[in-house]
Structure 1
Amino acid sequence: MTIQSNDIIIQYVIILYGINDMKSILKKDILYSQLKEKIRNAEYKPGEKLPNELDFSRELGVAKITLRSALSRLEEEGLIIRERAKGTIINPDIKRKRILVIIPARLDVESPYHVILPGIEEKARDLNIELEKCQNAFFCELENKSRKEFISSGKFLGIIFPEGTILGHEESFLAVKSIGLPTVMPHANYKDYITTGFACIYPDERKAFADALKYLAEKGHVSVATVFNKTLTENYSRSYSLNEYLETLKKTGLTGAKELVSYCAYNREDVKKAVHGFLKLGTIPTAILCGSDFYALHVYEVLKELNIEIPKQMAVMGYANYPGGRFFTPSLSTVDLSMKKAGETAVELLDKSSQWWGDEKSPPFITVEHEIIARESTNTIRTEKIFLNQKIKGAL
């Protein structure tokens, strides 16, 4: 193994930043990361003795001072033991921690799990934690005794349970609850903390959606239509009941008419019907806010069929910032819910569960930050509402 192949990158950074000692700093960081990765992946096994520093530095293609810096950091983290008599050995007591990840029962394309999982995996690698994934259905099918034996044999730190809106009677929830291990929900509803007693990571959907409305109002929109995702609770989505949402529209200075709100199943025909309904109103909305980026994709398709230009005639905004929105034409404005960060945080919480798990302790409730991602699909200041209403009506 050699780090000389990284020299091009190092030289680029030096040129870019003009920092004379950047090369030395980067080589130390790169070597440290490479050695840590090899220990983490058991390429260097617990108890294995490493070559002496002179031979090892030659093998790696680095200076001794660079190697010593990396080894010092690894020693501080308890990954290696350095003794003058015995040399440098991989800590024989290294035991990989493990976390059980329950794979959700529903893995539709719009499932947050697809965005949360990379955060879980990256942070687990960084903390040298092994992930064991188990399908929800399989976990539920196990008898309680077998389930507990499986968990006990794995010596898990805890469980990541990426479900949400738990009512308390779900089979998967009861199965996880019966284990009695620290459990984190990385994409929880704000009521889940009370219902489950698990640690919850919560995107403040109410504020995130309200901020999206505020952003559109600042762009000059007054009449904003909303395509919500249909949930098990009638006229309830993104933590708003219909009446609560209409009040939020009014408080934001927008038209609070229920005709401007549609609850759709995730299919093209439902979304098409909703959009056509908006365009037949007396005052046509100038923007459509979607409960998910995936709904926005169907809105794009319908508007394209009608030759309605985005954003010139109709602004469109998504929600959740799923990968790929920036490749829409025009690129899709959305709200980033930091779902990948939520996955990372879930692993960090379980790694430190001793700080919050116990009879007299309360599991943490963490609100992740959200951010408006402004792109081309809303990049128009709306001032000519009457003209555009007439033009769109002519297209129908």
Structure 2
Amino acid sequence: MAEKRKITLKDIAKELNLSPSTVSRALNGYPSLSEETIQMVKDYAEKHNYIPNTMAVNFRKNRTSILGMIVPQIVHHFFSTTIDGAMETAKKHGYSIILAQSQDMLKDEIRASQHLLGMGVDGLLISVSNETKEAEHLQAFLDEGKPVVQFDKITDYLVSPKLVVDDFQSAYDAVTHLIKQGYRKIAHLSGRMDVKNAHERYKGYRKAIEDHGLEFREDWVKNCWEISEKEGMEFTKELMESGNAPDAIFCITDVVALGAMKHLQSKSIAIPQQVGIMGFSNWMLSDYTSPTLSSVDQHGKAMGSKAAELLIEILKNQDPVTDEFHEIKTELIIRESSQK
């Protein structure tokens, strides 16, 4: 006969129509909850023989010196550098990092966060997925006294320190460079407008166009959802065959820019003489494309290191939760693809 599955926090939450974090707080007698809710949860747990994860309980009482970290993609060059920076800094302070990736999907991010919380990590570093808006699964960490630091891609629905680059100004500077090189019809292969950093880069692009008295055209803005090389190729094809082709393209990331360059080269359109290309993130590949790719360096390693420092400082000093912003300065890297 199969062994009966133990009831979990999620089971209780589903049955009582509560969130798992509320159930956890009720079982621990948090005073912020009503006595009625606390008693209801405890009664149900007792009736159904709920057994708490004692390892997780012990971890919550005693620091593990382990941090959780969730990124959209581990193999993504920018995020691989943030991981490197975070791990290096954590090691210096006697911490280890357990790493997970969301594949830019909310359901995978929720699963990863619940797993890390169950393992008893002391705190969480996270760059949220493109699908993440509200953040109850991240609030669960704060509810258990575990700090969260967001970096690069963030949600404003969670009160936590946030570490970003100035996407608006970085995009503005990149497009201004193209204008100073003599380009006048500048398109933008953007990200999703419901993603904060993509929207900020779009606003910086548009402001630079308007400040320099150039024409802004909505049909010169294409929104990439997968942020892929394939989208870069397909949207550049659309732009160049539109009957009013741009003479420069500012791309949301270097991988999209690579796709744009591949299409132009397949049609023997000279870069940068006929069309200038500007990327964003300064991937390792930027130095090895032909022509080499101009880009914005986000200094990923510095961002990862700073994010880990912020989290460890909160843990050591037992600082209260804040909603402050911290910024990593970007650097415009000018290479062949944008110099006429």
Query: Given the two structures, how large is their TM-score scaled by the length of structure 1?
Result: 0.60
Per the alignment, do residues 378 and 147 of structure 1 end up closer, same or farther by CA in structure 2, a change over 3 Å counting?
closer
Residue 176 (structure 1) shift: 3.3
Aligned in 2, Cα 1:363/1:237: closer, same or farther, shift over 3 Å?
A: closer
**Residues 1:227 and 2:189 aligned together:** yes
**Residue 328 of structure 2 is aligned with which of 355, 368, 373?**
368
Is residue 103 from structure 1 mapped to residue 70 from structure 2 by the alignment? yes
Q: Which amino acid aligns with 1:103?
A: I
Match 2:172 to one of 203, 210, 218? 210
Q: How many Å separate the matches in 1 of 2:159 and 2:146?
A: 11
Identify the structure with bigger relative contact order (alpha carbons < 8 Å, sequence gap 6+): 2
CA contact (8 A) 2:86 2:307 kept: yes
In structure 2, distance between residues paired with 1:240 and 1:232? 10
Cα distance in structure 2, aligned partners of 1:143 and 1:220: 48
Partner of 1:162: 127
Mapped pair 1:186 → 2:151: yes
CA offset at residue 264 of structure 1?
A: 2.6
How far 1:257 moved relative to its partner? 1.2
The partner residue of 1:126 within 92, 99, 124 is: 92
- Cα RMSD over matched residues? 3.4
Which residue of the partner structure matches residue 82 of structure 2? 116
Which residue number in structure 2 is paired with residue 25 of structure 1?
none
Residues 98, 108 of structure 1: alpha-carbon distance in 2 compared, 3 angstrom cutoff = closer
Question: Is 1:297–2:258 an aligned residue pair?
Answer: yes
Aligned residue identity for 1:117: I
Stretches of structure 1 lacking an aligned partner (at least 5 in a row): 1-94, 381-396
Report the alpha carbon displacement of residue 128 of structure 1 after superposing the two structures with TM: 3.4
Q: Residue 260 of structure 1 is aligned with which of 220, 224, 242?
A: 220
1:1-396 correspondence to structure 2 within 5 Å: 98-104=65-71, 106-107=72-73, 109-110=75-76, 112-134=78-100, 140-141=110-111, 150-151=119-120, 156=122, 158-163=123-128, 168-170=133-135, 172-189=137-154, 192=155, 194-230=156-192, 238-240=198-200, 246-265=206-225, 266-267=227-228, 270-353=231-314, 358-359=319-320, 362-380=322-340
Contact 2:73–2:101 (8 Å) recurs in 1? no
Q: Alignment partner of 1:125: what SS?
A: helix
Deviations 1:267-290 (A, max 9, x none): 555433322332234543221111
Q: Structure 1 residues 139 and 240, CA, compared in 2 at 3 Å: closer, same or farther?
A: closer
Distance 2:94 2:207 in 1: 48
- CA 1:102–1:179 in 2, change beyond 3 Å: closer, same or farther? farther
TM-fit CA distance, 1:96: 10
In structure 2, distance between residues paired with 1:173 and 1:344 = 21
What residue is the counterpart of 1:86 in the other structure?
Answer: none
TM-score (norm 2): 0.69
What is the identity, as a one-letter code, of the residue corresponding to 1:202? V
Q: Which amino acid aligns with 2:187?
A: A
Q: Is the 8 A contact 1:288 1:315 kept in 2?
A: yes
Find the structure with the greater CA-based Rg. 1
How far has the Cα of 1:115 moved from its partner?
2.6
In the alignment, is the contact (CA less than 8 A) between 1:225 and 1:260 conserved in 2? yes
**Tell me, which stretches of 5 or more residues in structure 2 are unaligned?**
1-61
Is 1:230–1:237's contact at 8 Å kept on the other side of the alignment? no
3-state SS of 2:239 partner? helix
SS class of match (1:304):
helix
CA distance in structure 2 between the aligned counterparts of 1:123 and 1:282, rounded to whole angstroms:
52
Tell me what 1:47 maps to.
none
1:133 CA drift (Å) = 3.0
User: Which residue identity is paired with 1:125?
Assistant: K
